[in-house]
């Protein structure tokens, strides 16, 4: 048990660590470098000279986030910045009097170099305040879609149902460009599989997001930031890949962008054909010593077309306006062959047997439109941002099934879903004197979801309506939010605190098979506190410690609330639960980073009214079971997380990490007392070996030791992936050979023993694959484009 005494002990230990002596006496100067589009300017050369004595010069290279830090006395300084393809910058600043942070903007020169070799210290992961930023370039080189990029990211675990986990048993929320994707888990997984890997600029991992983010991120937030064509001139790339397991994947795409210094446009086109399989074997006891044995084999072919496009313009030196759009269309044709046998022993002859054939033809369309504006209030980094976005998606499923038994029968249905999401937000970040930053904002989000399912049964050629599964369901969610938070430097400390208010309005109406409805109206407050300080420097590496607290909420999604029973197989259905209540979590975490790279963390999650996926047997027939969601009580979770790495920039670089979670569940399961305690380890690693300036080998993988996933106990599982890439044609062409899940270990056995359900089984997918991919980068310099245009205008005969 986690007693109050123990809780106080580790909090006191963390406080002592934060209050350790600080040897450096000088004041830190932080310079943030950006281009005209407010994007970070990486690896620029920064020089600082004392205005009173210009013979004293200090110089450094900005990191990949565009930040350069110096330790200086309070005085006036001359700052010089130079970067490839940008005009040199010279500014005079005064350090002191509450000013220790400055944002500098560089202007594009309009010229590009033919070839530049940069061997920087860019890291795969870095810690920036309360978030971990991942550079996905190397991960994308061996991936066919955004889903695979996340699978290979150290510290992220994705289960076989597409749920993404960070540091708790609650799945993380998925954001695209800072906007939450209010979609079901399966729809999010489909969307990520349709996202081109080369379209991702960076991945932000927020395990304890601040008050600026939605309070629904109790499992953390994964924010995928897409590229928007910020490089000067006309640039682009063509990419393609082929992967082969037992089934095959093929992908082809093109990315184009043009930036003339004031206007920026981009276009991404991608086609993806994927195919694979899943094998699921389950043994479930139904009465006495009799159990139901099921073997289900599913094939998963599908096609996807993706279009991403956008435009941005600097109206003047202060205003920037941008528009972004995405279109997705997917069709998939899944088929399942399910054998059902009743037995009294695993090797015994079946007492009875049946076969079910199920097909699901799925057609999904997604449209996303987003308009953004940024107003730069001053040169210190103060800005006002506004956004209005609309998302429409449709999901049409044509389902059919046939069961061969003593009395054969068949059936099917048409399932149609329509979803509209309208979101508006306004955020203000203002730099005040005395190292104070004030952040405040408002947000309103409206979700409308309509779902209908028309099922039928066919027996001996007679078709009639399946009144149990046919359904008509409407759902509406309107959430209004406002937040305020402020940060202030207190010597070597940085304190950030804030609160978020969210007003929730949810309503659901089911017309078929029976009239049922629910309505929820509530207002909640979610505090947030963040404290960090520099502890010491060792051999030039800065070590910082952090303490974070936040209260969060997890609301049931429309899919989890929709009560209609969906056909899975002859003996299993799944349905939502319209009586689900939201769960609330208090998260406490202490962590340490070294030179912006995460090192160690310890945390505690206390969740009340926890809801999760449960597995119940039907009262009328023990052979029948259904999956649903239910509030089961309280979960107390303790976790440790650690990383180790060799700094990048040399011939060999690696990151290795591990996380331990221990969960205590207390509550009710099927009306019976629940007490469930389990712990589990997750390890992950990434290695990069530079063979020469054009070739490198990467190795990444994860290992999950025997542990729980919700109320399932899983066997150990993992995957190891190997990639070799080589650059050709002046580094314009990159070819990558890849092998995923080399030892075919990304499969597992499972057991569940809760309530009336005792079951075990085995699950695998088409995870072992070999493949080859390529990416060809091209670009036209500004002067080259001008020459081409002039030649087109010259009369014939003029040389």
Calculate what percentage of the chain has a pLDDT beyond 70.
89
Calculate what percentage of the chain has a pLDDT beyond 90.
41
Starting at the edge strand found earlier in the chain, the sheet holding 76-82 runs 53-61, 45-50, 76-82, 89-94
**Taking the CA of residue 188 as centre, how many other CA atoms within 13 Å lie in the half-sphere pointing to its CB?**
23
**Nearest C-alpha neighbor of 617 from the set 753, 468, 457, 469:** 753
Strand partners, 431: 437
pLDDT exceeds cutoff 70 at 33: yes
- Residue 789 has a pLDDT of 37
The β-bridge relationship of strands 516-538 and 541-554 is antiparallel
pLDDT in tens, 189-230: 877 887 888 788 889 888 888 899 899 877 888 998 887 755
| pLDDT, mean of residues 681-698 | 90
- Residue 391 has a pLDDT of 95
pLDDT exceeds cutoff 70 at 13: no
For 487, phi then psi, to 5°, come to -125, 145
pLDDT in tens, 710-748: 888 999 999 999 999 999 998 889 999 999 999 999 999
In contact, 713 and 750? CB cutoff 8 Å: yes
Band the pLDDT of 501: cuts 50, 70, 90.
Answer: very high
pLDDT in tens, 507-521: 988 887 777 788 889
Euclidean distance between CA atoms 692 and 48, whole angstroms = 34
pLDDT exceeds cutoff 60 at 293: yes
- Residue 722 has a pLDDT of 94
- 269-283, 579-593, 643-657, 750-764: lowest mean pLDDT where? 643-657
- CA distances for 691 relative to 687, 733, 776, angstroms: 13, 17, 21
pLDDT exceeds cutoff 70 at 19: no
pLDDT exceeds cutoff 70 at 285: yes
pLDDT exceeds cutoff 70 at 785: no
pLDDT exceeds cutoff 50 at 295: yes
| pLDDT, mean of residues 471-496 | 91
Strand partners, 218: none
Band the pLDDT of 571: cuts 50, 70, 90.
Answer: confident
Peptide bond into 268 cis (omega under 30): no
DSSP string, 359-424: EEEEEEEEEEEEEEEEEE-STTS-EEEEEEEEEEEEEEEEEEEEEESSS-EEEEEEEEEEEEEEEE
**Nearest C-alpha neighbor of 752 from the set 626, 614, 619, 572:** 614
Place of tokens 């890291």: 123
pLDDT exceeds cutoff 60 at 112: no
- 166-170, 353-357, 773-777: lowest mean pLDDT where? 166-170
Of these ranges, 228-232, 321-325, 675-679, 685-689, the one predicted with the greatest mean pLDDT is 321-325
| pLDDT, mean of residues 629-645 | 92
- What number of other Cβ atoms are within 10 A of residue 427's Cβ? 18
- Residue 208 has a pLDDT of 83
From the number of C-beta atoms within 10 Å of its C-beta (0-12, 13-18, 19+), residue 729 rates as exposed
- Between 777 and 565, where is the model more confident? 777
pLDDT in tens, 346-397: 777 777 888 999 999 999 999 999 999 999 998 777 899 999 999 999 999 9
- Residue 182 has a pLDDT of 75
| pLDDT, mean of residues 700-707 | 91
- Residue 11 has a pLDDT of 42
DSSP state of 199: G
Question: Could you tell me which residues come within 8 angstroms of residue 284 by beta carbon, excluding any fewer than 6 positions away?
Answer: 291, 292, 294, 625, 757, 758, 759
Euclidean distance between CA atoms 637 and 678, whole angstroms = 10
pLDDT exceeds cutoff 60 at 794: no
Of these ranges, 48-57, 108-117, 245-254, the one predicted with the greatest mean pLDDT is 245-254
- 76-80, 554-558, 592-596, 743-747: lowest mean pLDDT where? 592-596
Place of tokens 């104070």: 436
**Nearest C-alpha neighbor of 683 from the set 723, 643, 710, 652:** 643
The mean of the pLDDT values for the chain is 84
Q: What share of the chain is helix, strand, coil (3-state, %, to 5)?
A: 5, 65, 30
pLDDT exceeds cutoff 80 at 26: no
- Residue 565 has a pLDDT of 80
Band the pLDDT of 647: cuts 50, 70, 90.
Answer: low
- Between 540 and 273, where is the model more confident? 273
pLDDT exceeds cutoff 80 at 691: yes
pLDDT exceeds cutoff 60 at 790: no
Place of tokens 């009173």: 52
Question: Could you tell me which residues come within 8 angstroms of residue 406 by beta carbon, excluding any fewer than 6 positions away?
Answer: none
From the number of C-beta atoms within 10 Å of its C-beta (0-12, 13-18, 19+), residue 471 rates as buried
Radius of gyration (Cα) for the chain, nearest Å? 28
pLDDT exceeds cutoff 80 at 129: no
pLDDT exceeds cutoff 90 at 173: no
In contact, 767 and 741? CB cutoff 8 Å: yes
Band the pLDDT of 119: cuts 50, 70, 90.
Answer: very low
- 57-61, 324-328, 791-795: lowest mean pLDDT where? 791-795
Strand partners, 692: 695
pLDDT exceeds cutoff 60 at 799: no
Joined together, the tokens standing for residue 50 give: 């004392």
Euclidean distance between CA atoms 78 and 90, whole angstroms = 7
- Residue 10 has a pLDDT of 43
**Whole-structure pTM over 0.85, yes or no?**
no
**Nearest C-alpha neighbor of 235 from the set 788, 736, 784:** 784
- Residue 53 has a pLDDT of 62
For 198, phi then psi, to 5°, come to -75, -5
- 5-19, 263-277, 601-615, 706-720: lowest mean pLDDT where? 5-19
Euclidean distance between CA atoms 249 and 705, whole angstroms = 29
Buried/exposed code over 83-120 (b: 16+ C-beta within 10 A; e: otherwise): bebbeebeeebebeeebbbbbbbbebebebeeeeeeee
- Residue 671 has a pLDDT of 83
pLDDT exceeds cutoff 80 at 118: no
- Between 580 and 5, where is the model more confident? 580
| pLDDT, mean of residues 90-105 | 79
Euclidean distance between CA atoms 292 and 310, whole angstroms = 54
- CA distances for 147 relative to 143, 159, 772, angstroms: 9, 12, 18
| pLDDT, mean of residues 156-178 | 82
Euclidean distance between CA atoms 538 and 643, whole angstroms = 17
Write down all domains in the chain, each with its CATH number in brackets: 4-105 (2.60.40.1120), 125-316+332-348+368-381+392-433+444-456+473-786 (2.40.170)
pLDDT exceeds cutoff 70 at 4: no
pLDDT exceeds cutoff 50 at 793: no
- 581-585, 650-654, 696-700: lowest mean pLDDT where? 650-654
Starting at the edge strand found earlier in the chain, the sheet holding 67-72 runs 67-72, 27-34, 101-105
- Residue 367 has a pLDDT of 96
Strand partners, 165: 157
Instruction: Write out the H or E segment, with its range, that includes residue 146.
Output: helix 146-151
Angle (CA) 497-503-507 rounded to 5° is 150
- Residue 539 has a pLDDT of 65
Joined together, the tokens standing for residue 702 give: 């994860």
From the number of C-beta atoms within 10 Å of its C-beta (0-12, 13-18, 19+), residue 782 rates as middle
Cα-Cα end-to-end distance for the chain? 87
């Amino acid at each position: 048990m986690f007693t109050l005494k123990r809780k106080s002990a580790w909090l006191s230990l963390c406080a002592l660590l934060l209050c350790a002596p600080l040897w450096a006496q000088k004041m830190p100067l932080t310079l943030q470098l950006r281009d005209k589009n407010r994007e970070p300017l990486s690896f620029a050369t920064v020089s600082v000279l004392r205005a009173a004595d210009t013979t004293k010069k200090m110089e450094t290279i900005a990191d990949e986030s565009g930040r350069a830090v110096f330790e200086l006395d309070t005085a006036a300084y001359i700052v010089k910045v130079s970067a490839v393809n940008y005009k040199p910058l010279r500014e005079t600043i005064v350090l002191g009097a509450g000013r220790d942070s400055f944002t500098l903007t560089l202007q594009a020169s309009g010229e590009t170099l033919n070839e530049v070799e940069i061997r920087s210290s860019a890291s795969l992961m870095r810690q920036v305040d309360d978030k971990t930023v991942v550079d996905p370039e190397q991960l994308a080189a061996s991936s066919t879609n955004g889903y695979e990029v996340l699978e290979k990211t150290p510290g992220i675990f994705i289960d076989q149902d597409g749920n993404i986990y960070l540091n708790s048993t609650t799945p993380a929320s998925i954001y695209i460009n800072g906007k939450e994707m209010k979609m079901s888990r399966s729809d999010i997984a489909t969307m990520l599989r349709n996202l081109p890997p080369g379209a991702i600029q960076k991945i932000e991992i927020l395990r304890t997001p601040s008050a600026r983010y939605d309070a629904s991120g109790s499992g953390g937030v994964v924010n995928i930031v897409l590229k928007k064509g910020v490089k000067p001139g006309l640039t682009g790339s063509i990419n393609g890949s082929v992967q082969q397991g037992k089934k095959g994947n093929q992908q082809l795409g093109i990315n184009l962008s043009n930036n003339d210094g004031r206007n920026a446009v981009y276009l991404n086109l991608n086609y993806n054909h994927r195919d694979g399989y899943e094998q699921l074997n389950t043994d479930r006891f139904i009465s006495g010593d009799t159990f139901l044995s099921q073997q289900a084999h599913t094939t998963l072919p599908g096609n996807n077309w993706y279009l991403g496009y956008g435009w941005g313009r600097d109206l003047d030196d202060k205003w920037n306006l941008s528009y972004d759009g995405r279109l997705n269309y997917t069709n998939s044709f899944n088929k399942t062959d399910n054998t059902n046998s009743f037995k009294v022993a695993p090797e015994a002859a079946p007492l009875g047997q049946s076969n079910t054939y199920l097909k699901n033809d799925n057609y999904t369309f997604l449209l996303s439109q987003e308009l953004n504006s940024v107003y730069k209030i001053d040169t210190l980094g103060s800005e006002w941002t506004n956004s209005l976005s609309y998302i429409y998606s449709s999901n049409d499923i044509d389902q059919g099934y046939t069961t061969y038994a003593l009395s054969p029968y068949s059936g099917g249905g048409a399932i149609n879903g329509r979803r509209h999401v309208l979101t508006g937000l306004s955020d203000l970040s203002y730099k005040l004197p005395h190292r104070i930053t004030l952040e405040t904002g408002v947000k309103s989000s409206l979700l409308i979801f309509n779902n209908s399912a028309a099922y039928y049964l066919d027996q001996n050629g007679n078709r009639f309506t399946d009144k149990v599964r046919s359904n008509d369901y409407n759902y509406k969610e309107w959430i209004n939010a406002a937040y305020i938070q402020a940060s202030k430097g207190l010597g070597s400390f940085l304190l950030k605190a804030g609160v978020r208010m969210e007003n929730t309005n949810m309503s659901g109406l089911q017309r078929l098979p029976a009239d049922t409805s629910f309505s929820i109206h509530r207002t909640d407050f979610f505090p947030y506190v963040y404290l960090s300080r520099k502890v010491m420097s060792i051999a030039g590496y800065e070590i910082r410690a952090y303490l974070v607290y936040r209260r969060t909420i997890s609301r049931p999604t429309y899919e989890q609330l929709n009560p209609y029973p969906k056909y899975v197989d002859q003996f299993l259905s799944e349905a939502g639960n319209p009586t689900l209540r939201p769960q609330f979590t208090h998260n406490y975490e202490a962590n340490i980073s070294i030179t912006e790279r995460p090192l160690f963390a310890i945390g505690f999650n206390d969740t009340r009214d926890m809801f999760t996926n449960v597995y119940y047997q039907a009262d009328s027939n023990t052979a029948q079971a259904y999956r649903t969601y239910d509030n089961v009580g309280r979960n107390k979770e303790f976790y440790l997380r650690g990383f180790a790495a060799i700094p990048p920039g040399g011939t060999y670089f690696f990151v290795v990490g591990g996380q331990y979670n221990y969960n205590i569940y207390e509550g009710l399961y099927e009306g019976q007392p629940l007490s469930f305690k389990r712990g589990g380890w997750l390890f992950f690693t990434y290695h990069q070996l530079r063979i020469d300036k054009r070739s490198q080998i990467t190795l990444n993988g994860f290992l999950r030791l025997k542990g729980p996933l919700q109320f399932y106990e899983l066997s150990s599982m993992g995957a190891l992936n190997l990639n070799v890439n080589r650059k050709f044609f002046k580094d314009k062409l990159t070819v990558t050979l890849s092998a995923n899940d080399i030892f075919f270990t990304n499969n597992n056995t499972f057991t569940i023993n809760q309530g009336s359900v005792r079951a075990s089984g085995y699950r695998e997918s088409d995870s072992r694959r070999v493949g080859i991919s390529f990416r060809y980068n091209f670009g036209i310099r500004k002067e080259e484009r001008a020459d081409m245009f002039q030649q087109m205008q010259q009369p014939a005969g003029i040389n």
